[in-house]
Amino acid sequence: MKQEEMAPSELAKMTIVYAIPEMEAVTVRREVPYCTTESGSLTFDVYYPPGAAAADRRPAVLIVYGYSDAGMPNVFGRTFKEMGQTVSWARLIAASGLVAILYSNREPVSDAQRVLQHLREHAADLGIDGRRLGLVYLTYLLHGGAWQWSGAPVQRRQVEVLDKEPGRI
């Protein structure tokens, strides 16, 4: 079936094409709260490399999405951090030796700022190096807005992924 013909809930289950065996050995710490809103707690999931210990203090990558999670379950049946594509990216990153983080949001830019601040403040508890945090945008909507608040110099690199296999993300 072509992607154009698939229901949104089926599209949400699709994973990335590339995989390595270590992806299945990744450890996930789920639903870590980073702030509370009038709608409830916002949380993130932390994907650790196989065999990682908290004392390792590994670099981490926050996977950023520019849409609010508020309406995602109504359309896709799940939030951004539960999508097949984002989960498989997080597993691939963790299997490659870095910690990957997926988070829920209501306000894309301000919540990205909040989660980054939380990661820096609680780095030791999370087993990450708060000085070595990277961001991966899976969106065109933020346009660097999440970077602007810190005032720190940022290196940006754009990566383009070309679809080599029709029907796969």
What is the pLDDT, as a whole number, of residue 68?
A: 84
Residue 24 has pLDDT above 90, yes or no: yes
What's the number of domains the chain is made of? Answer: 1
Residue 102: in which H helix or E strand, if any?
Answer: strand 99-103
User: Rounded to an integer, what distance in angstroms lies between the CA atom of residue 23 and that of residue 32?
Assistant: 21
Long-range contacts of 160-165, Cβ-Cβ distance < 8 Å, separation of 24 or more: 164/17, 165/17
Q: Write down the pLDDT at residue 67.
A: 80
CATH code of the domain covering residue 122: 3.40.50.1820
Q: Is 50 within the bounds of a domain?
A: yes
pLDDT value of residue 141: 53
Residue 155 domain-assigned (yes or no): no
Cβ atoms within 10 A of the Cβ of 69, count? 20
- Examine residue 169 and state whether it is found in any structural domain, yes or no: no
Task: Return the CA Rg of the chain.
Answer: 16
Which of 13-17, 37-41, 134-138, 145-149 is the least confident region? 145-149
In this predicted structure, what is the pLDDT of residue 120?
A: 95
More confident residue, 4 or 60: 60
* Adjacency order of strands within the sheet including 40-48: 27-37, 40-48, 99-103, 58-64, 128-137
Amino acid at the residue 140: Y
pLDDT of residue 139: 67
3-state SS class at 129:
strand
pLDDT at position 168 = 40
Helix (H), strand (E) at residue 9: helix 8-11
Its domain, for residue 60, covers 30-143
Look-up: residue for tokens 């049946």? Answer: 77
Q: Please tell me the predicted confidence (pLDDT) of residue 90.
A: 96
Taking only the tens place, the pLDDT of each residue in 90-127 is 999 999 999 999 999 998 888 989 999 999 999 999 99
Per-residue pLDDT at 152: 46
Decide if 157 is inside a domain. no
Q: What DSSP assignment string belongs to 38-62?
A: TTEEEEEEEEEPTT--GGG-EEEEE
Q: What is the pLDDT of residues 33-88, one digit of tens each?
A: 999 988 889 999 999 999 998 788 999 999 988 788 888 888 888 888 998 899 99
Tokens of 106: 């209501």
| Mean pLDDT, residues 155-165 | 42
Domain annotation covers residue 110: yes
**Both structure tokens of 12:** 């949400």
pLDDT at 87: 95
Tell me how far apart the alpha carbons of residues 72 and 52 are, in angstroms, rounded to a whole number.
Answer: 32
Examine the pLDDT at 162 and tell me if it is beyond 80: no
* 166 is a domain residue: no
Does 163 reside within a domain?
A: no
Burial class (CB in 10 A: 0-12, 13-18, 19+), 159: exposed
- Residue 150 has a pLDDT of 47
Does any domain span residue 136? yes
